Structure formats: structure tokens, C-alpha cells
Amino acid sequence: MELVTPHIPPQPAAPPSRLNNARVLKVELGARSYPIRIGKGLAANEAAFPEAQGRALRVITDSNVAPVYLAPLLAALHIGDDQVFVLPAGETQKTWDSAGQVLDWLLASRLSRDGCLIALGGGVVGDLAGFCAAIYQRGIDFIQVPTTLLAQVDSSVGGKTGVNHARGKNLIGAFHQPLSVIADTSSLSTLPRRELLAGLAEVIKYGMLADSLLFEWLEANLDRILALESNALAEIIERCCAIKARIVGLDERETGSGPRALLNLGHTFGHAIETHTGYTQWLHGEAVAAGLCLAADLSARHGWITEAVAARCITLIQRAGLPTQPPPGMTAADFRDLMGLDKKVQNGKLRLILMRGLGDAIISSDFDASLLDSVLHDACSAAG
Amino acid sequence: MELVTPHIPPQPAAPPSRLNNARVLKVELGARSYPIRIGKGLAANEAAFPEAQGRALRVITDSNVAPVYLAPLLAALHIGDDQVFVLPAGETQKTWDSAGQVLDWLLASRLSRDGCLIALGGGVVGDLAGFCAAIYQRGIDFIQVPTTLLAQVDSSVGGKTGVNHARGKNLIGAFHQPLSVIADTSSLSTLPRRELLAGLAEVIKYGMLADSLLFEWLEANLDRILALESNALAEIIERCCAIKARIVGLDERETGSGPRALLNLGHTFGHAIETHTGYTQWLHGEAVAAGLCLAADLSARHGWITEAVAARCITLIQRAGLPTQPPPGMTAADFRDLMGLDKKVQNGKLRLILMRGLGDAIISSDFDASLLDSVLHDACSAAG
């Protein structure tokens, strides 16, 4: 069902030359394996979408992305704009009610079970559209076309879909793998600067948790990224997706003991910040950036990494123009309360992702609670 | 009822002799395989729930079932009634909004990802609770404790979960297999007569589509069922579950060409009837009963079964006190409109489950549309 289009005459494969400029990775998940295609202009190139050919298609996007990228995509896919649902932009749209509206529209548009959704946008659109694909008529195919750096290196790969809840982020959702992921680097040229930087937080995260060479490459080449140099962007997207694809291939559904949880480095703190600020003031990547600093600090206080390594992490995050402290006014008690409900709580014991080296993260509930308290207290005091 | 903490120390495994009176089947789905336990008194027997031991548990049930079966289940599982969500009874509760309320409650109760839901009730409770388990924190475990004949022979087995939509039944949902299914035959003794008969419609369906011996057994033993003879009930539950387990094992996610769709014999017509009557006037099994008669009639008009076989099907359904015709006032045009959105539409061509013998069903889009029209017209005219 997920990967097969049973009743469509096979199309001739697109000549490989037409995608010569694309880098292609594969997420290995048996019957649910899929390609990630990375390159300039792919979202406007029919040849990047062989999985969509001959299918009934619907596009979900948002009000920021639609004016810029929708028309070229529709032209590439030969579909009309009556097959598009445009959400208002923003994380506040990633709700149960919005999902209900998308499902109402899909049903009104009479998309059948063998149809295919296309998510064109950032993480909010991808997570929400993916969740709708997961539960529309018990699951239909979908294709991710991420238009933000954050979505290209993280949220569009791996099959996590879902919506937020007043009690926390992504508390309702499903694992549902896409048919393919099409990461068009040219979409980063119109991305607001603040969102580009927020995506960089996840890139730095990959370096911190799994790839010291990537981390050092970022230290040396940060300016090329900030100048939007095309090859540099493609390089980090490919490198991050390769890490994520490998980890997701080992642990598709994030079992308690599996490596996928490592990708949440900084996220338990970050989710608490996002919940505390109501999802409206901080971008996800900004909250993760501050969370990465807290995780590095806590790791250093345990002696698991040196203070010099923690300082390099915090410095790189600062150079990228990202926050290194919690929001002003947030207290250690706020963190404790909000982290109590986090999905990483198992049998009442909080588990955190921490570092034991540059490019080497672990899942641990074996940390010193008083050190956690002092990290939170110091960070919140410094933030004011 | 005493209040007990959710973190119960693991109990020693129950000696097998304590479940000596249970019939046990297995649904073979690799890592998602699970047992179906059938017997008298199982829902009040701790030994029937080895999968629940030592877990944080929450129970979803409804206002009809709770007064009769909740207390014994809670006692068997050593949990308090503050861990229970009671839905108002009825198919009208199987909605997106109700699912949202259950998810709100689960989050408020701070159930973590390693917790387990128990669905105590009929198909509505099982489908809704299973859907919530499928999407709560991207999927948690659940156990089905079906209390109606329909749920015991059909909806609790196979992992289909979901909610209805104004545009049709089960249009939003997920495949999510339970950890186990506990079918307690004693719960049928308090089941309203009308619901028992509605469940019998699905039993007759199994005979018509896959098991002519079951069909003949029903013709000979219908009175024992209607008299609620315990062994006869266990016999049909076991036999139907064995058929369903075999088909689900071959085709977990109901691919277009797989055998699982055969279980929908009568259901395309039945869903149209339920949608037309707003889910309030006809029970699911009653709508299926009328749908089975339409499917048998259409099969006979094609010459795929004899008129004598169709007549035996319709007679058995009638003897079971079930409707053999659509609701008065419903027209052939109503059927055509409502069947157009049915999930069984592929690439614009309606596919129906039809019979080519007693105990032998096929999936076909190769039927004569004018014969379908005449069947619908004749049945609707006869119903008035």
C-alpha cells in the first residue's frame, strides 16, 4: 500500500541526466525505503518526482511558501491550484483542529486511498501534512518537499509526523514514512534569515551528537553557509541527511533503547522552552540551540566532556546568531514542570541525551539531578 | 473501589491451568503477532492479561458497559477508577472530536509512551480507543476487551482503528495492532438482543465469504446461538476469529489486491446505509445484513451463484431477525452517491466484494453496472 501504485501503467524512468545535479541518498527501511534528492531547482523539476507520476495528487502548503514556490511545483506536476490547501503560516497552526480541517478538505476533494499528498513547506507543513497522510483513510502516500533548512536536514526525513498540544509539542502523531524527500537548495535563498539560522541549530546538533568532522567543517566554513553558497548548503544537507538516514534505518520507531533518541540532543530542554513560550516567540531551532547549550553545559559539569568542548559548542551556536540561554523570565521550576511530561520520561525517570565527546552522544537517566538543577538555575539566572 | 498506584510490582506469571477454559488463537504478523483469548469470565480474570502486568494502564469504556463490566476488570487489573475514561454510548461518539477529548484526558493523566490503553466495550470503543493508542505520542500499546458479539468476531481483531466522518464511516484512522484480544463470552448475556443479532450478521458474513461449513453449521444451530448457549457462542467466535486472523495475517494493511478486502462483503452497501441514516437509526451489523442480501442478489443476477444459494443467505439473515432490505425512503441514487466516496473506489472504478459460491467471495470491478442499478432499484422499491 505505502510504496506501490497498483493500477498505474509503468512510466519510462526519467533519464538520469536530467537529475545530474542532484545528490541522492537512500533511507533504508526495507519495504518502506525511500530516496532523498538534494539539489538546486529540484522542486520545479518534474524529473525529481517519478513517484508522483500518474497519481491523484493534493498539495498542502502555507501562506508564506505558496506565493513563491507553489506555481513552479504545480507546473512541474501538471496539476491545478484547486488541488491545493494553503494553511496560514506558523507553528501555531500545527494543531489537532488544523489537521481536522485538512482532513475535511481531503474528503471534500474526494481523494481516494491510492492518492498521494505533497507537503510543500517547512516543518510545520511537513509534520501536519504527514500526520494527515498517516490517518487519511488509514494511511496514504505522501512526498516531502521541505523548503526550510530545518525541514531539509531534519523534520522531512524519518517519518515522524504529528501535531502539538497545549501540553507539549508533537504529543499526537504517527510514524509514517514518505515516498520521497525533495530538498531544493534554491528555496533557502528566500528563507528569512532567522529561519535559516534556526535550521543551522539542527546542523550543529548533528555535528555535536554524531560527527566531529562535520562540527569542525562548520567551525571552518560557517561564513560560506551564512553567505548561502550553494555547494556549502548542499554539503551540509547531504551530510545531515546521511546521519539521520543511518540512525532512522537502525531505529525506525524510536524504541526506548535505540539510537534514534540521540537525535533529540537539546530537544528536551528545547521543547520545554517552546511550550513555555506558547510556540509563538521562539522558533523550534532557536529553542533547540539554547537546549544544546544546556546539554553541553550539563555534560561538562559531569566531566563527560571537557569544558573546552562545551565552550566550542556554545561558541559555534553563538557565531551562528542563535540563542545560548533560555528566554528571560523562564525559571528552573518551569523547566522541571514541563520536562516532567516529556515523552522521554520512562517509568517516572527522566532520560536526557547528553554528550561524552564531540560527535558522541548518549541516552542517560544516570545523571546527577543536582547538577541538572544547577545548570537550569545558572542559565535562567544569566538569562534574567 | 480502592485507589492503587499505576506502578504495580510485576506479578508472578499465572499458571496456565487458570486459563484452561480459554480457547487461544494467534494472529500471525511477525513482530506484531498477538493472541486472541476466548472464554467465559476472562474479562474478570487477571490471568487473561499477562501483557498488562507491571504497566501503567488506562481504560476507555462507555456508559453502557461501565456499570456492568468495569468493576470486575479494574479489580482483575488492580487499578483505580480514576484511570478510566467513560464515553457516552453510541456510534455517534466515534468522532474526531471524541478522539480529541480522549487524547486530552490521556495527556492530562500524564500517561507516558510506555503505558498501555485498554478498550473495554463494543466496536465504537475499540475503534476509537485503538485510534487514540495509534496516535498518542506516535503510538502506544493497547489491549482489546470486546464486549459485543460484533466486536468479538470482527472489529477487535486485525488492527483497524478509526473514527467516522460526516462523509462516511472510518474515513480517518490507522492500522494499529493490539497487544492481545480478550473475548469474554459471558459479556454477551447482558448484551441487548438487537446488538447480539447485529453481531450475528458478521458471523453469517464469514460463512458466506470464506466458510461454507460455518454457514451450514449456522443454518443447523441458529437456535442455540439465539438461546445464548455458551459453547455455541465460543464456537462461532473462535471460528470467525480464525478466519479473520488468517486473512489479516496475509494482508495486514488491506492492499488493493489483497484478500483482506473480502472481509468487506456487504459493507460497501452497508456503509452507504449507515451514512444515509446518519449512524443513528441502524446498527452497523443491521446495515451489513441488508448489504449482504444486496451482494448475494447481485452475485446471483450475474449467475456467479445460484438463486438457491442467494435465497439461503437471505433466509438465514431473515431467521436471525436481521433486515434484508434497505431503509424505507432510501433510493438507488442515494446508494450511488454515497458509494462513490467509498474507500473501495480505485482510479474511479467501483470495486465490490461479491460471491461466486457459498463460502467463496471475490473482489471485482468487473460487474454489470446495469445489474447493480436494477438490484438497488428493486431493493429500494421493495423497502418502500
The full DSSP string for B21-34 is T-EEEEE--GGG-E
Same domain, A125 and A253: no
Residue ranges for the known binding site of B for NAD(+) are 123-127, 147-148, 160, 169
Mean pLDDT of A202-229: 96
Is some CB atom of chain B closer than 8 A to the CB atom of A251? no
Interface test with A, best of B57, B135, B137, B160 (most A CBs within 10 A): B135
Same domain? For A30 and A118 the reply is yes
Question: Which residue does chain A place closest to B175, by CA atoms?
Answer: A138
- Would residue B11 count as lying in a domain? no
Separation in Å, CA of A49 to nearest CA in chain B: 20
DSSP assignment of B229-268 equals -HHHHHHHHHHHHHHHHHHHHH-TT--TTSGGGGGGTTHH
What residues of B are in contact with residue A174 (Cβ under 8 Å)?
134-135, 138-139, 174
Structural domains in chain A (count):
2
Residue B102 lies in a domain: yes
pLDDT of A280 reads 80
Contact A112 B172 (CB under 8 A): no
**Alpha-carbon torsion, ordered A76, A78, A80, A85, to 10 deg:** -50
Residue B215 within any structural domain of the chain = yes
Cell of A291: 537546549
Residue type for position B62: D
Contact A277, A360 (CB under 8 A): no
| pLDDT band at residue A109 under the 50/70/90 scheme | very high
Q: Average pLDDT in the A358-368 region?
A: 93
Pick the residue from chain B with its C-alpha nearest to A175.
B138
Contact B135 A173 (CB under 8 A): yes
CATH, residue B338: 1.20.1090.10
The last residue of a domain, from among B142, B169, B190: B190
Alpha carbon separation from A325 to A379, A382, A383 (Å, rounded): 6, 8, 6
Residue in A6, A138, A253 closest to B257 by CB: A6
Query: How far apart, in Å, are the Cα atoms of A257 and each of A109, B71, B363?
Result: 42, 36, 43
Residue B283: CB atoms within 10 A of its CB come to 24
Under 8 Å between Cβ of B37 and B8: no
Same domain? For B224 and B246 the reply is yes
Based on the fold, state whether residues A130 and A246 are members of the same structural domain: no
State the Cα–Cα distance between residues B256 and B258, nearest whole angstrom.
Answer: 6
The answer to whether B8 faces chain A, any CB pair under 8 Å, is no
**What string of DSSP letters covers A186-242?**
GGGGGS-HHHHHHHHHHHHHHHHHH-HHHHHHHHHHHHHHHTT-HHHHHHHHHHHHH
CATH value at residue B100: 3.40.50.1970
The model's pLDDT over A153-164, given as tens digits with 9 standing for 90+, comes to 999 999 999 999
- Residue A370, classified by CB atoms within 10 Å of its CB into exposed (0-12), middle (13-18) or buried (19+), is exposed
Strand ranges in chain B using DSSP code E only, listed in sequence order: 23-27, 34-39, 57-62, 84-87, 116-121, 141-146, 160-165, 168-175, 180-184, 345-346, 349-350, 352-357, 360-364
Task: Examine the domain organization and report whether A257 and A311 are in the same domain.
Answer: yes
Chain A touched by B350 (CB under 8 Å): no
Beta-carbon-side half-sphere exposure of residue A141 (alpha carbons within 13 Å): 24
Q: Based on the domain organization, do A186 and A210 belong to the same domain?
A: no
Look up cell 508533537; give the residue: A170
Q: For residues A168 and A273, what is the distance between their CA atoms, to the nearest angstrom?
A: 10
- Cell triple for residue A244? 539521520
Taking 50 as the threshold, does the pLDDT of residue A17 lie above it?
A: no
Identify whether B26 is part of a domain.
yes
Paired with A357 in beta bridges are: A360
If you average pLDDT over residues A365-381, what whole number do you get?
93
Query: A231-274: per-residue pLDDT in tens?
Result: 899 999 999 999 999 999 999 988 877 899 999 999 999 999 99
**Is B371 inside a domain boundary?**
yes
Q: From the annotation, which residues of B make up the binding site for Zn(2+)?
A: 202, 267, 284
- Does residue B64 sit in helix, strand or coil? coil
In a domain, B10, yes or no: no
For chain A, helix, strand, coil in percent to 5 are: 50, 20, 30
**With an 8 Å Cβ cutoff, is A135 touching chain B?**
yes
A219 and A176 share one domain: no
Residue A200 and residue A182 share a domain: no
Final residue of a structural domain among A155, A174, A190: A190
Could you tell me if B135 lies within 8 Å of chain A, comparing CB atoms? yes
Q: Does B345 touch chain A (CB under 8 A)?
A: yes
Tell me, yes or no, whether B81 lies in a domain: yes
Beta bridge partners of A359: none
Q: Contact B149/B203 with Cβ under 8 angstroms?
A: yes
Both B224 and B101 in a single domain? no
For the cut 90, the answer to whether the pLDDT of residue A15 exceeds it is no
For chain B of 384 residues, list the mean pLDDT of each consecutive stretch of 10: 36 47 91 94 95 96 96 96 95 94 97 96 96 97 97 94 91 97 94 95 97 97 94 94 94 85 94 88 94 98 97 98 97 90 58 95 91 95 88
| Best of A172, A260, A275 to mutate (most B CBs within 10 Å, chain B) | A172
For residues B85 and B145, state if they share a domain.
Answer: yes
Cα A146–A149–A154 angle (5° rounding)? 75
pLDDT of residue B383: 87
Q: What contacts B67, CB < 8 A, 6 or more positions away?
A: none
Q: Residue B228 gets which letter from DSSP?
A: T
pLDDT band at residue A10 under the 50/70/90 scheme: very low
Q: Which helix (H) or strand (E) holds A58?
A: strand A57-62
Q: What would the pLDDT profile of B150-176 be if each residue is shown by its tens digit?
A: 999 999 999 999 999 988 889 999 999
Residue A168 confidence (pLDDT)? 82
pLDDT single digits (tens) A276-326: 998 788 998 999 999 999 999 999 999 999 999 999 999 999 999 999 999
Residues A165 and A282 in one domain: no
**N-to-C CA span, chain B:** 53
Strands B116-121 and B141-146, bridge-based pairing = parallel
Q: Say yes or no for a CB contact (<8 Å) between A174 and B173.
A: no
Cβ–Cβ below 8 Å for A112 and B346: yes
Average pLDDT for A87-107: 95
Instruction: Give the separation between CA B262 and CA B367, rounded to whole angstroms.
Output: 16
Q: Which of A84, A57, A90, A87 is nearest to A70 (CA)?
A: A84
Average pLDDT, chain A: 91
Could you tell me if B134 and B174 are in contact, meaning their C-beta atoms sit under 8 angstroms apart?
A: yes
Residue A8 lies in a domain: no
Best interface-test mutation with B: which of A2, A109, A116, A135 has the largest number of B CBs within 10 A?
A: A135
A173–B137 CB contact, under 8 Å:
yes
How would you classify residue B363: left for phi > 0, otherwise alpha for psi between -120 and 50, otherwise beta? beta
A147 annotated ligand-binding residue = yes
| Burial class for B167, CB neighbours closer than 10 Å (0-12, 13-18, 19+) | middle
Residue B107, SS3?
helix
Question: Residue A370: enclosing H or E segment and its boundaries?
Answer: helix A369-383
| Boundary (domain end) residue, out of B190, B217, B246 | B190
The pLDDT assigned to A69 comes to 96
Q: How large is the ipTM?
A: 0.85
Pick from A172, A254, A256: which is nearest to B103 by CB? A172
Q: Which residues does chain A have within 8 Å of residue B102's beta carbon, measured at their own beta carbons? A: none
**A246 at the B interface (CB within 8 A)?**
no
B344 and B314 co-located in one domain: yes
Q: Which residue has the cell 506484531?
A: B32
Residue B302: give the domain boundaries: 193-383
CB-based contact A160 B173, cutoff 8 Å: no
